[in-house]
Structures are given as C-alpha cells and as structure tokens.
Amino acid sequence: MVRVTLTIVPTDWNDADAVRLRRAQRDELDTRYGADTEPGVKPSADDVAVFLVARDGSGVAVGCGALRMLEPGVAEVKRMFVEKSARGSGVSTAILRALEAEAVERGIGTLQLETGPAQPDAVRFYTREGYVPIPRFGHYLHSEGSLCFGRDLATARP
C-alpha cells in the first residue's frame, strides 16, 4: 500500500471541492445501485456538524467525510468518499480517524453509519476499523437494503 501525505481539515459544505467530492460519491453510488436509492433525509449544511476534506501533498482534494448529529452523544458518519486514484493509500482510514477525533472533541461517544449490499468494500472497511453490525436506526428502520454499523469510541482499536 502506497501512503500519501495528507492534510484533513474542516471545510464548508458548499466549498467547490466539497461539492465535487459529494457529486463523485453520488455518481458512484447511483452506478452501483442503478439509481439514487439513499433512504431518509440527505445530509445538508444545516444538519452536518462537521465536513472534512482530505488533500494530498499537492493540495488536491482526494476524499471527504462528515458527521451528522442523531441525538446527544451519537452521530452518523456520512459522505465518506475517496477518489479512485487515491484508494488503497490510507486516505479512508485517515478520514475516519479524523472524524472520530472530531466526534470525541464534541463529546460524541458513539458513531453509527449506514451502507448497503452493493458496497462490500465499505462493509469490509468499517468492520476492519472496529465497527460492528447494529440494528437499523433512524431513517433506515424500514430500509430492507440498509446495513448499519456502529462503534463506541471509548473501546480500544481492533
């Protein structure tokens, strides 16, 4: 695995790179699922507590991720995405660690997320990073295609 030098910083939801990365993620998911099948309310600038963008050593935005509050002490990981050219280089792990650090700083002890069966790479990634299957929650309660995971941030790394 080739590692890249990264800078991961909070970025405005409407920043041009943030919009481009979210669009690329949406396009990839639409291709995997055949349409925009995201259940529930899509995240927005109004409900995202933090949006992070990862930039490589040249300053190019190569990945992103967000936290959306669900209830006190619990947030949802949203919009995790890494450009294909940067995959396998540790970017996704770095973004997830940065989101976890942001969560801890904000007093959030539990992270939850939703993915789906057309994303086996995401399932493997989150499982490897210590996230465990949980019952469907929130907007995903009645979404038969939703696979939900969670992690107590106080637990040790796998």
User: E strand or H helix at 107, and its extent?
Assistant: none
Which pLDDT belongs to residue 48?
A: 96
The tally of domains found in the chain comes to: 1
**Does residue 40 fall inside a structural domain?**
yes
Range of the domain at 82: 6-152
**Does residue 1 fall inside a structural domain?**
no
> For the segment 31-89, what is each residue's pLDDT rounded down to a tens digit?
998 888 888 789 999 999 999 999 999 999 999 999 999 999 999 999 999 999 899 88
Per-state percent for the chain, helix, strand, coil, to nearest 5: 30, 30, 40
**Does residue 157 fall inside a structural domain?**
no
> For the segment 98-155, what is each residue's pLDDT rounded down to a tens digit?
999 999 999 999 999 999 999 999 999 999 999 999 999 999 999 998 999 999 998 7
Which pLDDT belongs to residue 157?
A: 56
Q: How many other CB atoms sit within 10 Å of the CB of residue 119?
A: 16
Which pLDDT belongs to residue 3?
A: 60
Say if residues 63 and 82 touch (Cβ distance below 8 Å).
yes
Say if residues 136 and 148 touch (Cβ distance below 8 Å).
yes
Which pLDDT belongs to residue 156?
A: 52
**Does residue 119 fall inside a structural domain?**
yes
Distance, CA of 50 to CA of 102 (rounded, Å): 8
**Does residue 158 fall inside a structural domain?**
no
> For the segment 7-36, what is each residue's pLDDT rounded down to a tens digit?
999 999 999 999 999 999 999 998 998 888
Distance, CA of 35 to CA of 17 (rounded, Å): 23
Q: What is the CATH number of the domain that holds 53?
A: 3.40.630.30
**Does residue 84 fall inside a structural domain?**
yes
